[in-house]
Amino acid sequence: MTKTKVLIGLASCGIAAGANKVYDKLKALQDAEKIDIVLKRTGCIGMCFREPLVEVIDESGSYLYGDVNEEKAVEIFDKHLKQNEPVKEYIVRSDLFSSKDDPFWDGQIKIALRNCGVIDPENIDEYEELGGYKAIKKILGEKLSAEQVIQTVLDSGIRGRGGGGFPTGLKWRFAFNNKAESKYIICNADEGDPGAFMDRSLLEGDPHAVIEGLIIGAYAIGAKEGVIYCRAEYPLAIKRLNIALDQARKKGYLGKNILGYKDFYFDLYVKEGAGAFVCGEETALMASIEGERGMPRKRPPFPAESGLWAKPTNINNVETFANIPYIILNNAESFSKFGTEKSKGTKVFALTGKISHGGLVEVPMGISIRDIIFKLGGGIIGGKKFKAVQLGGPSGGCIPEYMADTIVDYDSVNATGAIMGSGGMVVMDETTCMVDMARFFLDFTCKESCGKCTFCRVGTKRMLEILTRITKGEGKEGDIQKLEDLAYQIKETSLCGLGQTAPNPVLTTIKYFRDEYEAHITDKKCPAKNCKQLLTYTVDPEKCTGCTVCAKNCPSNAIDGERKTVHFIRQDACIKCGACFSKCKFDAILVS
């Protein structure tokens, strides 16, 4: 008889929602009542909008419970685990019956995320039971050459999932062709955009897949040393990585004579980064590993020729490496059968913003942005109108609603002015001001500029000043042209990807939402009614009951009126805080 398994999602997202308390409660109940079940931690299950998540797998099937708190945990324990009676009202997914949340899973293809939410990330045995480390065993057992491994990666069509989209196999071949005796391989786990949620979740939920991908990459290019560069703000990911590295060494997957093969030596360590966004750029990342300030270097020479410590180096990101064992074990066609002609396989996206079902999804390349948002993501919160989606992180671009049928592949996304990036997808509704959104993202990239390039250091600052003025109602004629001129100069003269892409949010919002810029500058109005300094609050005399609540809550005493009489807002005294609007129970405050 198979034991009942109970999995609790304990990635950072689950822990933030209170999953630790749920785990502790179930563990206490198990210990007290001596029920013979397997209670274990797992990584991110993906359905973050339903955290905390608890999955029960018994002889009848699997049952995923959502929004679980300590009280619900007790009920699930008493009814399901003790009496074999699933608590259907809490179930968000089951292989036995349908749920209203099923669309979130429909259309997903799990390759990179295949083990996340399934295994205990701190248990190498569970990874091995699901095929873990069989890919490297296949390579060594069948005596596949480095060229054969690289050709398989090339045939799969996988392109770098970190943003650039460069063919991974080609990148490996460049490093392989360099006959230097000492080489390095690096995993870039330092992306600082919403897509980094994906990287962190992979490291927290399936660290061995990334490690095995690095081992295969090292075999292919001839590297003996490797580094996982991970930002220190991800303590759980770093903890689980180090546990996994220790386990892999004890099992003979890392170190000298890997799996008994005398000519194969490779080891890894984790380098904790300070969290600088610019260190997502490979040359800045290598400078940081070397103990220098994280600043980009001129290319050429490219890393395959002269990288870490001036040695040939290959760098890929977390998602790319997580795909490699699957490709090697199942052959190139298993991956390339998904996607489009030029963009093969699947892509992981972190859905966030004004979306009903925020979380982590993995979809085949070629799916439309609209399907991701409305089928998997459940549409816009509160039934509001979908306005735009920002794709590619802080330096990505904004794609308007009328272009939402754009398919997810590198060329199609790039054609809109956005970038694939590492998988951040920020959804915006009708209440989002696109000018302020551009200002928000530029504020981030401006602060994260390393300062090496004059146009990036100074130009982004000047652009931010202009955008800030516009959102305050101080925009001037010619500001849009100035923004465009500065944007193109920054893109053309910056050394690294940060500066080259930082203007994207501004350029795409000007391209697709120019009318909003003009309304801010010419009419001194924010069409989305978001920019505080451009709002005007007035009282609707037909709805005002004279309750005085607005006047009592006005911090600047700008509202006049006696009790049970219509009130009036003095515009010269109004500080546009919105307190009257939020406190009025009769919808008597108008905003224009």
Kindly tell me if the per-residue pLDDT of 351 is higher than 80.
yes
DSSP letter at 63 equals E
User: Percentage of the chain with pLDDT > 70?
Assistant: 99
Query: DSSP string covering 194-220, please?
Result: TTHHHHHHHHHH-HHHHHHHHHHHHHH
Q: Average pLDDT of 250-269?
A: 94
The answer to whether 124 and 150 have CB atoms below 8 angstroms apart is no
Number of residues that this document lists for the chain: 592
Q: Decide if 434-523 and 535-591 have a common fold.
A: no
**What would you report as the CA-atom Rg of the chain, rounded to the nearest whole angstrom?**
27
- pLDDT, tens only, 295-325: 999 989 999 999 999 999 999 999 999 999 9
Kindly state the tokens that stand for 277. 């966004």
Kindly tell me if the per-residue pLDDT of 563 is higher than 90.
yes
Kindly tell me if the per-residue pLDDT of 75 is higher than 60.
yes
Q: Average pLDDT of 24-33?
A: 95
Kindly tell me if the per-residue pLDDT of 442 is higher than 90.
yes
d(CA 110, CA 346): 8
At residue 262 the predicted structure's pLDDT band, cuts being 50, 70 and 90, is confident
d(CA 410, CA 421): 9
- State whether residue 1 is helix, strand or coil: coil
Q: Average pLDDT of 156-169?
A: 91
Q: What is the CATH number of domain 346-429?
A: 3.10.20.600
At residue 196 the predicted structure's pLDDT band, cuts being 50, 70 and 90, is low
Q: What is the CATH number of domain 434-523?
A: 1.20.1440.230
DSSP letter at 407 equals B
Looking at CATH, the fold of the domain delimited by 535-591 is given as: Alpha-Beta Plaits (3.30.70)
Beta strands in 115-222 (DSSP E): 184-189
At residue 191 the predicted structure's pLDDT band, cuts being 50, 70 and 90, is low
Kindly tell me if the per-residue pLDDT of 164 is higher than 80.
no
- pLDDT, tens only, 530-545: 998 999 999 999 999 9
At residue 420 the predicted structure's pLDDT band, cuts being 50, 70 and 90, is confident
Sheet strands side by side (includes 4-9) = 37-42, 4-9, 54-58, 61-65, 91-94
Domain-wise residue ranges, the chain: 4-104, 124-335, 346-429, 434-523, 535-591
Looking at CATH, the fold of the domain delimited by 4-104 is given as: Glutaredoxin (3.40.30)
Q: What is the pTM of this model?
A: 0.93
d(CA 191, CA 317): 9
Residue 578 CB neighbours (<10 A): 13
3-state secondary structure string across 11-22: CHHHHHHCHHHH
Homologous superfamily of domain range 124-335: NADH-ubiquinone oxidoreductase 51kDa subunit (3.40.50.11540)
- pLDDT, tens only, 361-393: 999 999 999 999 999 999 999 999 999 999 988
Kindly state the tokens that stand for 184. 């390095």
At residue 67 the predicted structure's pLDDT band, cuts being 50, 70 and 90, is very high
Residues contacting 82, CB < 8 A, separation 6+ = 33, 35
